[in-house]
Amino acid sequence: MAAALALGAPSASAERLPDTIDRVKPSVVGVATFQPTRSPRANYLGTGFVIDDGRLVVTNYHVIPETLDQERRERLVVISGEGRNTEVHHAEVVARSVDHDLALLRIAAPSLPALRLGSSDSTRVGEEVAFTGYPIGMILGLYPATHRATISARTPMVIPARSSAELDERRIRALRNDPPMVFQLDATAYPGNSGSPLFRKGSGEVIGVINQVFVQGGREAAIGQPSGISYAIPSDRIRPLLQEYRNQSGN
């Protein structure tokens, strides 16, 4: 009987998850465009999370708009806070990887709480993790939601392009010959979760970035009939972007 009870008991990392979420949430932000004359002024694009010195934000490349309406003063922003108690931070793209669907943004001061990057190479199939983001955007205000998941597999993944112009011959050849490896998760993510940090339940270390949901049908199907299969880019793919930014900025 004691053995049976032990098998059914929650793991230590699962018991610590609420505390981990409390530490993670202040570092999770919304990525949006902001236009003073528009209603609503903010157009939500996806999720991001703060790393490094508190002024760098990781998100997916595919959520960043190709162009901004400069005449109407549209700009890229990061929104921190929760509910309707939020703050808007001007942001600019300082590094990007189209092939790995990642972008690094630099926000204006002040700094925000930062998450620590863990080693995704040490992540094992079967490991229990979680991710926090904004699955339905800012419809009801900015309220982060956390989903639990298990690493189901490491699998090749074709990173989505925003337009056919990005699918040049070099990229198509690279995706065919050496496609990026990503984590497959047994969890339901939604389009607004793009850019959410995937983290270890106990430590809160980021080991991936949510970037795709397996969808049968159109975008609406991801909301109405989610598949329960999602994908995340390993966090080790973030480090080259950090180095690129440091080389450019002289840090």
Q: Which residues pair with 153 in a beta bridge?
A: 184
In sequence order, which residues have a C-beta less than 8 Å from that of residue 11 and are 6 or more positions away? Answer: 128, 201
Which has the higher per-residue pLDDT, 11 or 174? 11
Chain mean pLDDT for the chain: 84
Band of residue 227 on the pLDDT scale cut at 50, 70, 90: very low
In tens, the pLDDT along 111-128 reads 999 999 999 999 999 999
Band of residue 173 on the pLDDT scale cut at 50, 70, 90: low
Predicted confidence at residue 189, as pLDDT, reads: 85
Given a contact cutoff of 8 angstroms between Cβ atoms, the answer to whether 54 and 114 are in contact is yes
In sequence order, which residues have a C-beta less than 8 Å from that of residue 171 and are 6 or more positions away? Answer: 98, 99, 161
Measured CA to CA, the distance from residue 186 to residue 167 in angstroms comes to 29
Contacts 24+ apart (CB under 8 A), 210-215: 210/47, 210/131, 210/133, 211/60, 211/62, 211/101, 211/159, 211/182, 212/157, 212/160, 212/182, 213/188, 213/189
Would you identify the CATH topology of the domain 24-114+241-249?
A: Thrombin, subunit H (2.40.10)
Where along the chain do its domains lie? Answer: 24-114+241-249, 120-236
In tens, the pLDDT along 182-206 reads 999 998 888 889 999 999 999 999 9
Least confident of 86-95, 217-226, 238-247: 217-226
State the pTM of this model.
0.83
pLDDT surpasses 90 at 224: no
Domains 24-114+241-249 and 120-236 share a fold: yes
Predicted confidence at residue 148, as pLDDT, reads: 95
Measured CA to CA, the distance from residue 112 to residue 68 in angstroms comes to 25
Burial category of 140 from C-beta neighbours within 10 Å (exposed 0-12, middle 13-18, buried 19 and up): exposed
Given a contact cutoff of 8 angstroms between Cβ atoms, the answer to whether 100 and 59 are in contact is no
Least confident of 95-99, 160-164, 201-205, 245-249: 160-164
In tens, the pLDDT along 12-49 reads 666 789 999 999 999 999 999 999 988 889 999 999 99
Predicted confidence at residue 228, as pLDDT, reads: 61
Predicted confidence at residue 218, as pLDDT, reads: 45
Measured CA to CA, the distance from residue 60 to residue 162 in angstroms comes to 11
What is residue 187's three-state secondary structure? coil
Band of residue 219 on the pLDDT scale cut at 50, 70, 90: very low
Given a contact cutoff of 8 angstroms between Cβ atoms, the answer to whether 180 and 156 are in contact is yes
pLDDT surpasses 90 at 229: no
Backbone φ and ψ of 212, nearest 5°: -150, 155
CATH number of 120-236: 2.40.10.10
